[in-house]
Amino acid sequence: MTKLPHRNPVLPNARRRRGHRVSPLILSGGAPGDPRSLVVFGVVFGILLIALVLVPFPSQAQGLASLSQADRANIARIEAYLNRIRTLEARFLQVSSDGEYSEGDLYFSKPGKMRLEYDDPKPVVIVSDGVNLAYFDKELEQVSYFDLESTQASILLRETISFTTGGLIVTQFEKGPGVMRLTVIKESDPLEGNLTLIFSDKPLGLKKWRVTDAQGIVTNVSLLGPRFGLPLSPKLFHVEPPNEALKVQ
């Protein structure tokens, strides 16, 4: 296993369209708006401001330079594989470190489009149209809008994924019997959280990902029966809440 030095991101950084910062909702089990989270945030924020001055984050060049030639070859292989994926349809199973468990249907269409539809009793639909992301709580009849780029989901939805020039820093790579794990953070905002992609090796295939969000909550998402390259209806990536639904910008 090759592990590169970095700090664990713990600051919330998903942004509503008008610039307000809220906890990430995408592929994460956090509870945005929890008053206890706000208290913890205030303490951790001060600690991190000091830590950031003393401990610099690795750059893209530093990250890759610390990897072996074999590791770099496998990362290039993963990069090419991800860039061949244009659409994805699957059932998913989501388990979070805060005890939350969910299942549902997942649809990806690159670039930028995504739909997560959770099974009951979680009445939530998350839809990205390529620019903005809508979080629709059907029970509360409330829609919240976020910047797609402020979420970890945006990494998987990029037109072209690059671990050398795409603003992503490889912080850890591990290869075991039949499995590979690759962890990345965004160079532009390393405190946002990190994303670990988990693959089968031979044949190479995306099986799972793990998100550590800005609050330190770890969420594992496993793909069940994934199907790649199928045509997907554009209607999947458009949310139409009822007229009476509350819209939070």
Indicate the domain borders of the chain.
Answer: 2-229
Lowest mean pLDDT among 14-23, 89-98, 191-200: 14-23
Instruction: Please give, one letter per residue, the 3-state secondary structure of 206-226.
Output: EEEEEEECCCCCEEEEEEEEE
Please determine, for residue 93, whether its predicted confidence score (pLDDT) is greater than 80.
yes
User: Which backbone phi and psi does 53 adopt, to 5 degrees?
Assistant: -70, -35
- What's the pTM? 0.75
User: Which backbone phi and psi does 219 adopt, to 5 degrees?
Assistant: -125, 125
Q: What percentage of residues in the chain have a pLDDT greater than 90? A: 55
Q: What is the pLDDT of residues 133-155, one digit of tens each?
A: 999 998 888 999 999 988 888 99
**Averaged over 188-208, what is the pLDDT?**
93
User: Which backbone phi and psi does 174 adopt, to 5 degrees?
Assistant: -135, 135
Q: What is the pLDDT of residues 71-80, one digit of tens each?
A: 999 999 999 9
- Token output for 60: 């893209």
Q: Say what the pLDDT of residue 64 is.
A: 61
Q: Say what the pLDDT of residue 188 is.
A: 87
Q: What is the pLDDT of residues 106-122, one digit of tens each?
A: 999 999 999 999 999 99
pLDDT-derived band at 184, boundaries 50, 70, 90: very high
Separation of alpha carbons 204 and 128, rounded Å: 27
Instruction: Compute CA 135 distance to the chain's CA centroid, rounded to the nearest angstrom.
Output: 15
Q: CB-based contacts of 23: which residues, under 8 Å, 6+ apart?
A: 12, 14, 30, 31, 32, 33, 37, 213, 214, 215
- Token output for 88: 């994805």
Q: What is the pLDDT of residues 38-60, one digit of tens each?
A: 333 343 334 333 333 344 445 54
Closest CA to 157 of 109, 196, 125: 109
Please determine, for residue 161, whether its predicted confidence score (pLDDT) is greater than 80.
yes
Between 12 and 243, the more confident residue is: 243
Please determine, for residue 24, whether its predicted confidence score (pLDDT) is greater than 90.
no
Tell me which CATH code domain 2-229 carries: 2.50.20.10
Is the preceding peptide bond at 58 cis, omega within 30 degrees of 0?
A: no
Separation of alpha carbons 46 and 29, rounded Å: 24
Q: What percentage of residues in the chain have a pLDDT greater than 70? A: 70
Please determine, for residue 36, whether its predicted confidence score (pLDDT) is greater than 90.
no
Please determine, for residue 97, whether its predicted confidence score (pLDDT) is greater than 90.
yes
Q: Say what the pLDDT of residue 30 is.
A: 42
